[in-house]
Structure 1
Amino acid sequence: MDTPVQSFAVANLRRRPVVVETGGFVVGFDPDTTSPYINYATPLLGAAPTGSDVAALVAAFRGRGLKPRLEFAPDGAPAVEPALRAAGFTVEAVHEYLVCTPGSLTMPQADGGSGPVVETPDSDADYSAVDAALAEAFSGEFASSPEGANRLRRNQESGGAVRFVRAPDGSCAGGATCSAPAVGTSELAGVGTRPAFRGRGIAAAVTAALAEAMFHKGADSVWLEYSGDGSRRVYERIGFRPQGTRLYMSLES
């Protein structure tokens, strides 16, 4: 059973600015954005929702003008997927996740003895640069914004971590974030490198630095999802190993 990752998903959503708990689900909302990738729900471990439970969940989203959407590890709540499908939810994606532990982490070795220098943002300009770089890296899936930069700062200041590699012009070449540990684990997300700087080991460097930072904070593991075989190989080289899957489901209007 994917207990640690699903338990983390619950604990992490409970950190959101607005939290709604209904019918075995936890919903996390951020009033600064309408993004479905930030405003979503997850079930409690072992949840077995009824039709009325799912209807109440949908109402929590609709009342805010948002798309009902969930992210969860299905093995942690096997009854949830059938209940959502019965209510008209469909699967957006199934993502495998990888897990790294202190014993498996391997810090990357750069050819020639030098590699990307990983930094922690310490100014508004740095946070804005990281936000802009990630927006570019993910091909406009989200737009850079002051709110996005503020979310990065809040993450860093609330026990999580943000790491980046600076470009020659002082901007950000690539970076990533890691949520503050909860229930012994932490989610590493948003690993992105601007197209002009790919192939230079930036993703591996920031990922390893973030995992190391979380282990120093007491996490027993760090997990992430990957977007393709190329990124998977990067993560596996530094000690991430396959462990389970996560399911993304949503309800269209």
Structure 2
Amino acid sequence: MRKTIDGSARSGRRVVSVGPFAAALHETDDLIWLSYALPWPGAARERFSRQDLVELRRLFREAGRVLRFEFFEPLHPWLAALLAQNDFKLQAAQPLMLCGPDDLRPDRLRLRPADGEEVEVCDLSPDDSSDLIGQFMVVSKLCFNEPPYVTPQELQTTRENLLNGTYRSAYAKVRGVVAGVGSISPANDELVGIGTLAPFRRQGVACAVSSHLLASRFQAGSPLAWLSAGDEAAKLLYQKIGFRMVGMQLNYIDDSWDGRTRASVPRPL
């Protein structure tokens, strides 16, 4: 959790300490998943006061962001009930999964789609063309139900993130087409944004991208990687390549949230 908080500070977010929480506010992107509050490591129920929530709501409102909490239930079992009592609702309960170097299954590193053609996995580089980086981003947006449009600012931000090591990203090609994408955050070893275009699903694409990114991090000396699986199908996929479930990651969001994935909180004048 400490690495997650530290990683947030190095990935375009402003981090503010409020009682037992760290507020991580993304400076340029209002996608709701990119801003959140996290409990500090070891945070205890006794440190909490209702004034903390008042201050967090103020911070997020002034930043034009939706207040959300993300936390690992095994580390903070007291937090879910407290949030539910203070006008927050459960947004997601996702399997929390871990994988170490000895867990990764080498036989899953090279997978082939149903027609027998090999899945070619490539690293995305900051030196790649804008066209290729744009393809990567469009595939990512399509996989997560975002409009498939990439602005020049988004393109520049992605290139900068690759250049400064905020993310290490990879893509899979099938028959010359970018079919799947994914990233890992070296700051906290979280596997994120694994997605496959619909025509290429169930062909080993997501496993190939995930395994490639994990193997690279483990070769660089990382002792552990983690993720929160989006659903049961994703959990089963990650188990195939060596992840094990250790609990749940819970996401709670302000009751006033209207369901949109982009912040609808107006900044104060």
Scaled by the length of structure 2, the TM-score of the pair is 0.81
Code of the aligned partner of 2:36 = Y
In the alignment, what sits opposite 2:159? 153
Code of the aligned partner of 2:211 = A
The range that moved more, 171-180 or 16-25, is 16-25
Does 2:26 align with 1:23? no
Q: Summarize the Cα distance change of 1:244–1:149 in structure 2 as closer, same or farther, 3 Å threshold.
A: farther
Q: Summarize the Cα distance change of 1:36–1:20 in structure 2 as closer, same or farther, 3 Å threshold.
A: same
CA distance in 2, matches of 1:29, 1:142: 24
Secondary structure (helix, strand or coil) at the match of 1:46 reads coil
Q: Summarize the Cα distance change of 1:114–1:181 in structure 2 as closer, same or farther, 3 Å threshold.
A: farther
Tell me if the contact between 1:115 and 1:201 (Cα under 8 Å) persists in the aligned partners. no
What is the Cα deviation at residue 136 of structure 1? 1.0
In the alignment, what sits opposite 1:3? none
From 152, 162, 168, give the equivalent of 2:169. Answer: 162
What is the Cα deviation at residue 147 of structure 1? 4.2
Q: Summarize the Cα distance change of 1:101–1:142 in structure 2 as closer, same or farther, 3 Å threshold.
A: farther
Aligned length: 244
Secondary structure (helix, strand or coil) at the match of 1:66 reads coil
Extract unaligned runs of 5+ from structure 1: 1-5
Does 2:201 align with 1:198? yes
1:126-161 C-alpha deviation (Å, 9 max, x unpaired): 221111001111233786444444444344333331
From 8, 12, 29, give the equivalent of 1:13. Answer: 8
Secondary structure (helix, strand or coil) at the match of 1:200 reads coil
Q: Summarize the Cα distance change of 1:137–1:19 in structure 2 as closer, same or farther, 3 Å threshold.
A: same
Code of the aligned partner of 2:208 = A
In the alignment, what sits opposite 2:224? 221
What is the Cα deviation at residue 211 of structure 1? 0.6
For residues 40-119 of structure 1, the aligned pairs below 5 Å read 40-47=36-43, 48=45, 49-107=48-106, 108=108, 109-110=110-111, 115-119=118-122
Q: Larger relative contact order (C-alpha < 8 A, sep ≥ 6)? A: 2
Scaled by the length of structure 1, the TM-score of the pair is 0.86
CA distance in 2, matches of 1:26, 1:209: 32
CA distance in 2, matches of 1:44, 1:105: 29
In the alignment, what sits opposite 2:32? 36
CA distance in 2, matches of 1:232, 1:78: 22
From 172, 189, 213, give the equivalent of 2:178. Answer: 172
Tell me if the contact between 1:99 and 1:242 (Cα under 8 Å) persists in the aligned partners. yes
CA distance in 1, matches of 2:86, 2:232: 34
Secondary structure (helix, strand or coil) at the match of 2:33 reads coil
Extract unaligned runs of 5+ from structure 2: 257-269
1:11-52 C-alpha deviation (Å, 9 max, x unpaired): 222224322222121122222211110011111023232111
CA distance in 2, matches of 1:139, 1:89: 25
Give the percent of matched residue pairs that are identical in Structure 1 and Structure 2: 24
Aligned alpha-carbon RMSD (Å): 2.3
Q: Summarize the Cα distance change of 1:230–1:179 in structure 2 as closer, same or farther, 3 Å threshold.
A: same
